[in-house]
């Protein structure tokens, strides 16, 4: 994916720069950009700001030339996540239009400034995002699961995984992850003190001891891996305004990795949903996800493996609020996730999976 000078703010987007970008990416064969309208998007994040761009061309232009684009500009110091997102668009450049992710027109980052920009397809005229707290109807949740299944099945045990795309987890690399988690959990328990019950504190210690074997058993069994989003809550999807015509699209690829696909489902439901919605929709959506994988060509992945993987992923969800706290994310964000995680762990009988 060719890159151009780093854009630090929408005001730096000139007609000349945009003309160059669109020509290099093959979307503007003739004509040129003569004006760019800019407005701040309602979609602002911890690490970036978003802007809608409206483009005016001179004369006749190629049909592929976009009229609207979305500019995502990294905030200084937020380099790592945005670098990961740019890496995602680069490794998936050849297949973007076949998968439910925004098309990327340009991407660049600066190691020295620790920031970046992404120039993406603007979906706001055909799709919409959910408002917090990101609960929704069965149809929209099913659309999100369909989106995940399409992405996961495409990358399912893909030969590029662990070579050209991401890194596969090994026993050595997972040992490093667990040692890091041990440090984070110790700090988390010290931070919360008696605000966390004795039973929950003991559970964290038990999970730290048992989870490595649970996860590595999946590795040893050869459970297939895929490219996972890593933060697939409903707020990171855009849903079609015409449900029967378009598909949900998944945004914000700042924490993607190579892992078991079912972990995205556990993140979406068991981590981010309150018990009433999860209990009402969880199993039927998992069955739908599994069936869509099979219809998309996935083989040798039976329902029992899918269900077991989901429960193991529910165990791993307990670490998410720990990491959020470590990254200095507000307790207003991670405290509800912690409650959801404990309740899902209890509801699904996940203690049965742990070594006592």
Same domain (yes/no): 56, 74: yes
pLDDT tens profile 184-210 = 999 999 999 999 999 999 999 999 999
Same domain (yes/no): 204, 273: yes
CATH number at residue 44: 3.30.200.20
Distance CA 87, CA 253 (A): 9
User: What are the φ and ψ backbone dihedral angles of 245, each rounded to 5 degrees?
Assistant: -105, -45
Same domain (yes/no): 133, 103: no
In a domain, 319, yes or no: yes
- Furthest CA-CA distance within the chain: 72
What integer pLDDT is reported at residue 2 of this predicted model? 45
Long-range contacts of 194-197 (CB under 8 A, 24+ apart): none
In a domain, 2, yes or no: no
Helical (H) or strand (E) element with 1: none
Same domain (yes/no): 328, 303: yes
Q: What is the token pair recorded at 237?
A: 């999807």
List CB contacts of 321: < 8 A, sequence separation 6 or more: 188, 334, 335, 337, 338, 341
C-alpha triplet 54, 60, 65: angle, nearest 5°: 45
What letters, b where the CB count within 10 A reaches 16 and e where it falls short, cover 234-255?
A: bbbbbbbeeeeebbbbbbbbbe
Same domain (yes/no): 277, 317: yes
What integer pLDDT is reported at residue 134 of this predicted model? 61
Which segments within 166-268 are labelled E, that is strand?
Answer: 226-228, 237-240, 249-250, 257-259
Distance CA 43, CA 63 (A): 28
Same domain (yes/no): 165, 260: yes
Q: Of the candidates 246, 283, 267, which has an alpha carbon nearest to the alpha carbon of residue 320?
A: 267
Pick the last residue of a domain from 99, 121, 143. 121
Q: Of the candidates 146, 141, 64, which has an alpha carbon nearest to the alpha carbon of residue 100?
A: 146
pLDDT tens profile 7-45 = 888 999 999 999 999 999 899 988 999 999 999 887 666
In a domain, 91, yes or no: yes
Same domain (yes/no): 95, 221: no
Q: Of the candidates 51, 237, 37, 19, which has an alpha carbon nearest to the alpha carbon of residue 140?
A: 237
Instruction: Decide which of 313 and 81 is more confident.
Output: 313
Same domain (yes/no): 69, 169: no
Pick the last residue of a domain from 96, 121, 146. 121
Number of helices (H), then strands (E), belonging to the chain: the values are 10, 10
Pick the last residue of a domain from 92, 121, 150. 121
In a domain, 117, yes or no: yes
In a domain, 4, yes or no: no
Same domain (yes/no): 23, 166: no
In a domain, 3, yes or no: no
In a domain, 295, yes or no: yes
The pLDDT confidence band at residue 349, using thresholds 50, 70 and 90, is very high
Same domain (yes/no): 192, 330: yes
CATH number at residue 203: 3.90.1200.10
Say if CB 74 and CB 48 are below 8 A apart. yes
In a domain, 5, yes or no: no
Distance CA 106, CA 30 (A): 19
Same domain (yes/no): 117, 132: no
Instruction: Decide which of 163 and 77 is more confident.
Output: 163
CB atoms within 10 A of CB 187: 13
The pLDDT confidence band at residue 137, using thresholds 50, 70 and 90, is confident
| Mean predicted lDDT score pLDDT of the chain | 92
pTM listed for this prediction: 0.93
Q: Of the candidates 240, 249, 246, which has an alpha carbon nearest to the alpha carbon of residue 127?
A: 240
Domain that holds residue 339: 127-353
**Across the strands, what pairs with 119?**
71, 106
Domain count, the chain: 2
Same domain (yes/no): 191, 96: no
Radius of gyration of the chain (CA): 21
Evaluate the CA torsion angle 40, 43, 49, 53 in order and state its sign: negative
């Amino acid at each position: 994916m060719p890159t151009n000078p780093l854009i630090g703010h929408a005001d730096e987007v000139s007609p000349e720069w945009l003309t160059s970008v669109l020509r290099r990416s093959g979307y503007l064969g003739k004509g040129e950009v003569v004006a760019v309208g800019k407005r701040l998007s309602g979609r602002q994040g911890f690490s970036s700001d978003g802007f809608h761009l409206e483009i005016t061309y001179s004369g006749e232009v190629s049909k592929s030339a976009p009229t609207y684009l979305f500019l995502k500009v990294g905030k200084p110091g937020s380099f790592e996540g945005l670098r990961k997102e740019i890496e995602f668009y680069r490794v998936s450049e050849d297949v973007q239009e076949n998968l439910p992710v925004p098309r990327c027109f340009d991407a660049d980052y600066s190691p020295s400034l620790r920031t970046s920009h992404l120039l993406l397809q603007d979906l706001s005229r055909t799709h919409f995002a959910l408002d917090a707290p990101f609960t929704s109807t069965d149809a929209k949740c099913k659309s999100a699961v369909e989106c995940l299944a399409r992405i996961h099945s495409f990358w399912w045990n893909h030969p590029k995984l662990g070579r050209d795309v991401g890194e596969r987890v090994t026993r050595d690399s997972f040992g490093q992850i667990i040692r890091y988690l041990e440090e984070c959990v110790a700090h988390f328990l010290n931070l919360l003190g008696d605000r966390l019950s004795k039973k929950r504190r003991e559970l964290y210690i038990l999970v730290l001891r048992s989870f490595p074997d649970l996860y590595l058993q999946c590795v040893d069994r050869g459970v297939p891996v895929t490219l996972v989003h890593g933060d697939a809550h409903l707020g990171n999807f855009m849903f079609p305004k015409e449900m029967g015509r378009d598909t949900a699209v998944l945004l914000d690829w700042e924490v993607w990795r190579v892992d078991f696909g079912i972990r995205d489902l556990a993140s979406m439901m068991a981590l981010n949903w309150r018990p009433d919605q999860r209990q009402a929709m969880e199993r039927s959506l998992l069955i739908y996800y599994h069936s869509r994988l099979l219809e998309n060509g996935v083989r040798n992945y039976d329902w029992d493996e899918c269900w077991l993987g989901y429960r193991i992923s529910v165990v791993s969800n307990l670490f998410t609020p720990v990491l959020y706290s470590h990254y200095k994310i507000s307790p207003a964000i991670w405290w509800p996730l912690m409650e959801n995680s404990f309740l899902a762990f209890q509801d699904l009988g996940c203690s049965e999976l742990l070594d006592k």
